[in-house]
């Protein structure tokens, strides 16, 4: 069932971060990170290490935000390196008095941070009457976005295996790992790495806020003209189905596997990528450019071909030395070439449940028979999906190729049961 409501313009700050946009167009995310003040307590030592927890393929941390009366409360926030300025839920924005001229103040252990209030985004916006943070994370509650514009004040160490992030002073001993240069956009603080694919430079945002790697559809289409064997399927499935919005970006996207992606001296193999579908329609984008990416990169501060998501970043312990313009990579696990294996459905969140946005296809042949766009997914192997978190639903559909999955669906009030099998991408 399509999400028919147009997207309000103030919602597009977050929509661009999660690859959603509406019929009214797409604005770039807020690009002014504003003033950030850091207070290091005496016992802060060489920094603070925070536990991260996974939600919908993304990483969350807890902040202690300061209310106007000086009291604090713990708030779950989305760690997002593709954003410039903090975004607060509508309720939190008002609770903290940001609209009344107050700055955004919070604490992370012995570390205090103050961000200029004028740069804080008031609410993630709504789509089809639903708050976008709720759309991405429910039933978990997430109240804010911690962006690159704040993180660049530190030397940041992301450790997926330990599920921690360390924020340290910029100066310090040389980090361990393979050095890879980064370009830090001066206004937004977003870090861009020059990857190499098929002998050419491909500028990509490093974004721990994204579950999967997405790139411009045109870039992927050009590769496939030269390398048709890289092709896997049409339609976002599994972790690549990261927005769960009824938009061409996902349902008309193209899945590929890159035999090799270079990051400085690193050589990564078997990397899965979704080349996004044409948001403005194929004829419009052929004439005017790629609406989503052209708008999104305006907030980044330079031309980009996409972002590296957690299907790549989760394999490494990464130190981002923003001040030095360097990242350092320590491999923790091999690349998983089976990370998208699942039943071939691209899902859309619909209320507290899920609908089929598209059936994945390969060379025009649907990979799941007897299911159509708009069908409501009710159960997977007898397990109801109503109220489940997005990652739990995608996990239920996942499985090695050939693994049977029994899907109960509703088509315009008529219940149906379909037996399908997981496929490889």
CB 369 within 8 A of CB 394: no
Task: Give the integer Cα–Cα distance in Å for 344 and 346.
Answer: 7
In the three-class reduction of DSSP (H, G, I as helix; E, B as strand; rest coil), residue 94 is classed as helix
**Alpha-carbon span 155 to 166, nearest angstrom:** 8
Q: How many of the other CB atoms lie within 10 Å of CB of 178? A: 14
What is the reported pLDDT for 128?
55
pLDDT score, position 127: 64
Intra-chain end-to-end CA distance of the chain, in Å: 25
**pLDDT score at 54:** 96
| DSSP at 98 | G
| Alpha carbons within 13 A on the beta-carbon side of 199 | 2
Domains 9-159 and 173-331 share a fold: yes
Helices in 332-412 by DSSP H: which ranges? 390-397
Per-residue pLDDT in tens (0 to 9) along the chain, 425 residues = 222 233 434 434 444 544 433 222 233 344 455 678 888 765 556 789 999 999 999 999 999 999 999 999 999 999 999 888 999 999 999 999 999 999 999 999 889 999 999 999 999 887 656 788 988 999 999 999 999 999 999 999 999 999 999 999 988 888 999 999 999 999 899 999 999 999 999 999 999 999 999 999 999 999 999 999 999 999 999 999 999 988 899 999 999 999 999 999 999 999 999 999 998 888 888 777 888 899 888 878 889 999 999 999 999 999 999 999 999 999 999 999 999 999 999 999 988 999 999 999 999 999 999 999 999 999 999 999 999 999 999 999 999 999 999 999 999 999 999 999 999 99
Are 301 and 82 in contact by the 8 Å Cβ rule? The answer is: no
> Which CATH code fits 9-159?
2.40.70
Burial 146-166 (b: 16+ CB within 10 A, else e): bbbbbbbbbbbbbbbeeebbb
CA dist 204 and 114 (Å) reads 29
Closest CA to 380 of 399, 367, 396, 357: 396
For the chain, helix, strand, coil in percent to 5 are 20, 40, 40
What is the length of the chain?
A: 425
Residues 6+ apart with CB under 8 A from 411: 372, 374, 375, 376
- pLDDT score of 34: 61
pLDDT at 281: 83
Omega cis (within 30) before 274? no
Domain layout of the chain by residue ranges: 9-159, 173-331, 345-421
Query: What tokens were used for 20?
Result: 């959603």
Type and span of the H or E element at 180: strand 178-181
Q: Are 275 and 232 in contact (CB under 8 A)?
A: no
pLDDT of residue 164: 98
Q: Give the pLDDT of residue 46.
A: 72
Q: Quickly tell me which residue has 């991260």 as its tokens.
A: 52
Contact of 231 with 254, CB cutoff 8 Å = yes
Class of the domain covering 173-331: mainly beta
Return all residues near 45 (Cβ < 8 A) that are at least 6 apart. Answer: none
Fold that domain 345-421 belongs to in CATH: Pdz3 Domain (2.30.42)
Rg of the chain over all Cα atoms, to the nearest angstrom: 21
Q: Smallest Cα–Cα separation from 190: which of 303, 105, 329?
A: 303
Distance (Å, rounded) from C-alpha 290 to C-alpha 281?
Answer: 9
DSSP category for residue 309: -
Answer whether 55's CB lies under 8 Å from 172's CB: no
For 325, the token pair is 């313009």
What are phi and psi for residue 391, nearest 5 degrees?
A: -65, -30
Contact 65, 77 (CB under 8 A): no
Q: Report the distance separating Cα 394 and Cα 140, nearest Å.
A: 16
What single DSSP character describes residue 70? S
Question: Cβ–Cβ contacts within 10 Å for residue 264, how many?
Answer: 17
């Amino acid at each position: 069932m399509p999400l028919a409501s147009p997207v309000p313009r103030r919602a597009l700050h977050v929509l661009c971060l999660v690859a959603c946009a509406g019929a009214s167009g797409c604005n770039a995310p807020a690009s002014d990170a504003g003033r950030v003040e850091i207070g290091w307590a005496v016992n802060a030592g060489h920094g603070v290490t925070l536990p991260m927890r996974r939600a919908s393929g993304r990483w969350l941390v807890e902040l202690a935000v300061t209310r106007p009366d000086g009291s604090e409360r713990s708030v779950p926030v989305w760690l997002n390196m593709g954003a410039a300025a903090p975004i607060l839920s509508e309720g939190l924005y008002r609770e903290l008095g940001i609209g009344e001229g107050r700055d955004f103040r919070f604490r992370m252990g012995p570390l205090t941070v103050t961000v200029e209030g004028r740069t804080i985004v008031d609410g993630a916006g709504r789509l089809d009457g639903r708050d976008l943070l709720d759309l991405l994370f429910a039933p978990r509650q997430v109240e804010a976005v911690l962006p690159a514009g704040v993180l660049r004040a530190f030397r940041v160490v992301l450790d997926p295996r330990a599920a921690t992030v360390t924020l340290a002073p910029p100066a310090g001993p040389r980090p361990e790992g393979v050095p890879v240069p980064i370009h830090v956009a001066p206004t937004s603080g977003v870090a861009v790495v020059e990857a190499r694919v098929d002998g050419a430079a491909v500028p990509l945002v490093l974004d721990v806020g994204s579950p999967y790697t997405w790139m411009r559809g045109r870039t992927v289409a050009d590769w496939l003209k030269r390398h048709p064997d890289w092709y896997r399927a049409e339609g976002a499935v599994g972790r690549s189905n990261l927005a769960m919005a009824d938009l061409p970006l996902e349902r008309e996207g193209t899945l590929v596997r890159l035999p090799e992606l270079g990051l400085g001296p690193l050589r990564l193999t078997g990397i899965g990528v979704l080349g996004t579908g044409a948001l403005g329609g194929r004829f419009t984008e052929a004439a005017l450019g790629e609406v989503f990416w052209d708008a999104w990169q305006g907030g980044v501060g330079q031309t980009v071909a996409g972002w590296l998501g957690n299907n790549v970043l989760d394999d490494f312990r990464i130190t981002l030395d923003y001040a030095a313009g360097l990242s350092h990579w320590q491999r923790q696990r091999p690349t998983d070439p089976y990370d998208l294996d699942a039943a071939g459905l691209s899902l859309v969140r619909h209320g507290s449940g899920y609908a089929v946005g598209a059936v994945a296809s390969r060379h025009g042949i649907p990979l799941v028979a007897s299911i159509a766009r708009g069908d409501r997914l009710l159960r997977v192997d007898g397990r109801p999906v109503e109220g489940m978190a997005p990652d739990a639903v995608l996990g239920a559909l996942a499985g090695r190729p050939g693994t049977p999955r029994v899907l109960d669906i509703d088509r315009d009030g008529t219940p149906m049961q379909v037996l399908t099998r997981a496929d490889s991408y």
